Amino acid sequence: MPGMVLFGRRWSLASDDLVFPGSFELFLRVLSWIACLTLYLVHRRKLDCPGGILLSTYLIVLLVLLAVIICTVLAMVCVSMRGTICNPGPRKSMAKLLYVRLALFLPEMVWASLGAFWVAKGIQCDKTVLIGIITTVIVSWIVMAATMVTIIFVFDPLGGKMTPHPPGCPEHLDSNNSSQLLTGLKTAARSVWETRVMFCCCCVGQDDNARVAFSSAADLFSTYFSDTDLVPSDIAAGFTLLHQQQDSINNSLEPQEVITHFPGQSQEADLDAEVENCHHFMPFAAAAYGWPLYIYRNPFTGLCRIGGDCCRNRETEYDAVEGDQHNCHFASILKTTGLQYRDFIHISFHDKVYELPFIVVLDHRKEAVVVAVRGTMSLQDVLTDLSAESENLELDIELQDCVAHKGIAQAARYVYRRLVNDGILSQAFSIAPEYRLVLVGHSLGAGAAALLAIMLRRAYPQVRAYAFSPPRGLLSKSLYEYSKDFIVSLILGMDVIPRLSVTNMEDLKRRILRVIANCNKPKYKILLHGCWYGLFGGSPDNSPTELDEGNQRALSQPLLGEQSLLTRCSPGYSSSDSLLDSPSKYPPLYPPGRIIHLEEESGSGRFGCCSAARYRARWAHEAEFGKILIGPKMLTDHLPDILNQALDRVVADRTACVSCPGQGGSHAAVS
């Protein structure tokens, strides 16, 4: 940080990013130089064949050219090691070295082409020499091809609009001009991100919903990324520092500081009942994923178990299944839930943007009509997740604000229309009129199930919802409080999704800026120590991570957007103009219902299996998930099979604890 400026434009590459690629190229070049020198010294007496003078000249010139390249790359690596992330001053000569290195590609390309041409002419010389020259030609072309690929990846489409201006503020740049420039930058950034999203989701249909989702995702990305001069390696270094800072703080806490309060007997009994309910309904949420999750959870036997049903012709009993051409989804659902085909009212695997698959089943054990909504599993679902604007819900309840995540609200409306307008719920309750309605889901499906419960509560007052690993950015404060009466959320460990919202991402960005700005170590040392710490543990980096008050105020200003356009020099600039301030269309949102948090008590290693860990369940407040935690398990704790294993362990431990005489009191004290 900041991104390098080459050829009059900014690139997504910092001057301290060349340590590792430069060292790798240096290793290859030194090996090539030693091999060429050995080849020449050992076989120079055998080059008196026809055309041998050409090959001898080729090797000598190649040795000189490689020596120059090695010296240049070595200088680049040494310069790239200097300074810190936010202090690029000691690396100011890097641009000139890069120009020299890129210029050396031209003679290298010409000489490699000549070598290939001479060898192709069929020169009758020692085969070892010819093989050696062919090898050097191949290595040269591989390095040049890798360089071209790297240039493509670090190309920033907005770089031409973001190059820094010279110091000083031109008098003619008034507030109107700077505002127009900033607006143009925002528009260009949004256009670039929309093109990127459409390219990544090229297989998604171009209907109206998809186009709206493309635009929403582009708005989100451009708003989040367009105001900071961070390159990808800066973000990786920031994650590394935050992870170690977080562990250092946790290690310094006393045990009594971690447990903030002890629940009463009534809360404990309620917790036991809700944990048991979560344990019962979790298989329904997992079953909604269909055969991919079943095969993932049973990699050796899953295909054999459902293979016969996949190849079987559909019978009349399967008419309720929609979008499952080969019956594989239905077969896996039967295996996961343990129910019979006659217990299923409707199964839909229709999957489009804002339209989620779901299943409706009769659960005779709990006397419930269960609606399970599938979580994120396709690009269409990802676009639904990324439609993160807030949207008003039209509900017949008196609340101050009824606002929810736009994409998930659209998906919940789709399922609502299918359940109500298509008569699916009416059919289910005509079969079992005394049953109650229960809605479940995992991840995106958890958010949709929670919103669906809110929409259906007026018609079904006894409705309950169990949201497994729901997204944090789902409900407004009023809806969050309203949902506590009939929705329970279950969150495992460090799971990132229940902590993920636009406001939390903005907070994460500020934290990254603070730690990398205050760290006095070069980036390559941060990344090396971070990799070692992430894999093998050890002592966290003890570098200071908090800035003094003056530097914190400086970091509240944008690092790229306005600064590059010199709006900070204009009379109309104020700190309130910063793009770091969350736009009004991304207000703070909260997770649904009451929250049960499964906390890890004894670890199983940094990447250990969940079944070897011990967890405790407790009621938690939403404020405990107001910050994104960084760690190896922030992603794995979100997986439905890991959550299910942890839930199995918690239920087994609580059951064993209750069955042991004299253990109830101690259990209640820590859970």
Pairing of strands 344-348, 358-363: antiparallel
Q: Among residues 272, 363, 495, 637, which one is catalytic?
A: 495
Position 671 pLDDT exceeds 70: no
Q: Is 348 a catalytic residue?
A: no
Q: What is the pLDDT of residues 275-315, one digit of tens each?
A: 999 999 999 999 999 998 989 888 888 788 877 666 665 55
Residue 200, C-beta contacts closer than 8 angstroms, at least 6 positions apart: 379
Question: Six-digit token pair at 171?
Answer: 């008098």
What is the model's pLDDT at position 201?
86
Residue 122, C-beta contacts closer than 8 angstroms, at least 6 positions apart: none
Determine the Cα–Cα distance for residues 400 and 390; give it in Å rounded to an integer. Answer: 15
Helix, strand, coil percentages (3-state) for the chain, rounded to 5, are 55, 10, 30
Question: Structure pTM?
Answer: 0.83
Q: Among residues 443, 476, 483, 489, which one is catalytic?
A: 443
CB 458 within 8 A of CB 436: no
What is the model's pLDDT at position 636?
93
Q: Tell me the one-letter amino acid at 560.
A: L
CB 666 within 8 A of CB 656: no
Q: What is the pLDDT of residues 333-345, one digit of tens each?
A: 988 898 888 899 9
pLDDT confidence tier of residue 173, bands split at 50, 70 and 90: very low
Determine the Cα–Cα distance for residues 52 and 48; give it in Å rounded to an integer. Answer: 5
Q: Is 385 a catalytic residue?
A: no
Q: What is the pLDDT of residues 418-474, one digit of tens each?
A: 999 999 999 999 999 999 999 999 999 999 999 999 999 999 999 999 999 999 999
The DSSP string of 529-558 is HHHHHHHH--PPP-------HHHHHHHTS-
Q: Tell me the one-letter amino acid at 152.
A: I
Phi, psi of 340 (to 5 degrees): -100, 160
Residue ranges in 422-476 assigned as alpha helix (H)? 424-431, 444-456
CA 441 to chain CA centroid, Å, is 20
CB 442 within 8 A of CB 495: no
